[in-house]
Structure 1
Amino acid sequence: MGALAEILQEPGAPEAEHTPARTLDADTELAGQARTTRLDHTHDADTEDALLRSLGHDPERWRFAGAPAIYRRDDAGETRYTTYRYKLMPVSESLTGLLDTIKTRTISPRMNADTGAAFTFQASDLQLGKSDNEGTTGTVDRYVESVGVAVERLRRLRAHEPYGTVHLVFAGDCIEGNQSQSGRNMWRTELTITEQTRVFRALLYRTIDAFVEEGADTVLVDVVNGNHDEVQRYQTTRPDDGHATEAAIAVREGLALNEPAYGHVQVRVPVTDQGYMTVPVGDTVFTIAHGHQWRRNQAMNWWSGQAFYEHNPGGAHVLAHGHFHEHEVQRAGKRWRICSPTYDQGSNYFRDLTGAVSQPGGIVYTTCGGQVNDMSIV
């Protein structure tokens, strides 16, 4: 029993734990933000600059937007304390000074921090085994070609900046499976389930090798299940019980047999009974999901709910997903939502119904400090 438990003990990726917090620095608060501060009456300030300093603000950067004081007196009429309720506005430069700054400021490229920057190749919805659009052979050809383009893009970027971390994202629907549409898609598949997973494992190995050969210091391989990857649906199984993550675990075990060559490669999957994961990539935090957890155009609502209830995705900078078969990018505040296109180009049924055809490919981009740059479809 002990040996069996050891085999079944496949730990998911350690989650990037999120503890909600908000820190306000007295010198960097937002202009227009209402603030309330109580000072004892002994804190006399005869000028606006002195009062700003007493309240912890730099008078060279901030001024009051309106009168700030409310006095509180005792029964004898003496001032006991003063409550300052106020808003701030930034000190604006003169137009002449602003124009001088524009003329004299040196224009130079922004360099990423060496330790935190990462290069991501994001792939989703291969749906291997599907017979539409040149079948599995066409999908494999398109995928392998896109990996080649991604590797070349990494080489070009490295000519200017070092990228020691390579991040490979497989955002679900890696195989066609036989559970979609309650199993009605089975007659449109040309490979059995075991053949589909065998092809996916081969593609995982080939992709990892392609980037290992480029000399990456760290290769992170993140795999989640999509709805097509589900093992069964007639009796609800766990969200982590899918063919995509099982194939990834098998690849992880295979790489471990050659530790000298692949010791810097980490294969990560979600923890038990969870369909997504929140993981660090350099100095950026990703939440990786397939996308079937929400309806179209509702991803930000799902993410907001995760943050509201203080789950780990609340600490993520990037939500990477697939499912909707089109490349989409959405930025809100410091958050990025990145949706992958598909590799199978969609279904003939949907094309006949709507005329829609998805342009195939993956996505490459870089991250540093929670920001996304250098994005393109490959």
Structure 2
Amino acid sequence: MAKERRRAVLELLQRPGNAHCADCGAPGRCAQGRCGCSGIHRNIPQVSKVKSVRLDTWEEPQVEFMASRGNSAARAVFESRVPPFYYRPSASDCQLLREQWIRAKYERQEFTHPERQEPYSAGEGKQLAQSRSAQQVCGRHPEPPARPALRPGLASQAKEPKAVMKIEHLNATFQPAKIGHPHGLQVTYLKDNSTRNIFVYHEDGKEMVDWFNALRAARFHYLQVAFPGASDADLVPKLSRNYLQEGYMEKTGPKQTEGFRKRWFTMDDRRLMYFKDPLDAFARGEVFIGSRESGYTVLDGLPPSTQGHHWPHGITIVTPERRFLLACETEPEQRAWMEAFRKVVDRPMLPQEYAGEAARRPRPGPRAAAGP
């Protein structure tokens, strides 16, 4: 009987939707996936029971339960009222996003009871205050540590906001490794036509994810006004974005006679930014990466006469104005950067990207002298 029940469970895996995790979409080996989501479910035993398809023993009522439901049916129930702006994590997203998604779905049942969504739908609180009329976000955090924490009361005690971030140019992405905290969030916005970074966290993971979705909600409302004819499917990809690639590389200056210097690089859409330190507020420089049709190319390696680089795996970015010479420490890092650059170069430019290209051509950052 045990073998028959196991065979029945394996057959259930072949049904549409059952071969992947119901929460993040990863290929699944157990009833809640092999992506780490099963570990999250184990931490909420009052809601979930995790069993391996091949290793655990299945009782007949459990097999019948799975047969009568399945992942597709479960999603239809537990995700029936997900707001369009709410971030749906994938297997590659950080633990915090996946954990709070699972807790919101099953433990708090926010997507079956919309009245429980208030914290991130309202976008109000002591740490950040959203101004719907001005379509801006105001924030305050302590000055000196390099890794400031959002703490209750700072904004309410301040006479003026520490920063004003226009929703039009705002982005937020979780960066736990870079910030050194599992709930670390990087928020970027434009200040004086340059990208400004702030790094924030909160000890309460739900609080941090609520703010992340509140920022996405503000972006969603802004874009609905800015593009009244656009569908939700058109707007949702524009709410926030993860970086295409990040990491250390070496670079030289525009004359290509200076020594190579180690810099932290971030590829954000078509902007390649470089920083002296990953937690710098401003980039030392930004490089616009256009399309192949506009004269942009990425080459494997460096010109033969290149000197001064310590790392052996070179990359040459060709733009209409100049060549940028970069070097990676390892071959896998070089391959990852080459793939990221080529995806951007192979993608046709949009009309608005042509309009903004001139303003985003290579230039030094606002707080650094010209050079590498």
Shorter-chain TM-score category?
under 0.3
TM-score (structure 1 length as normaliser): 0.25
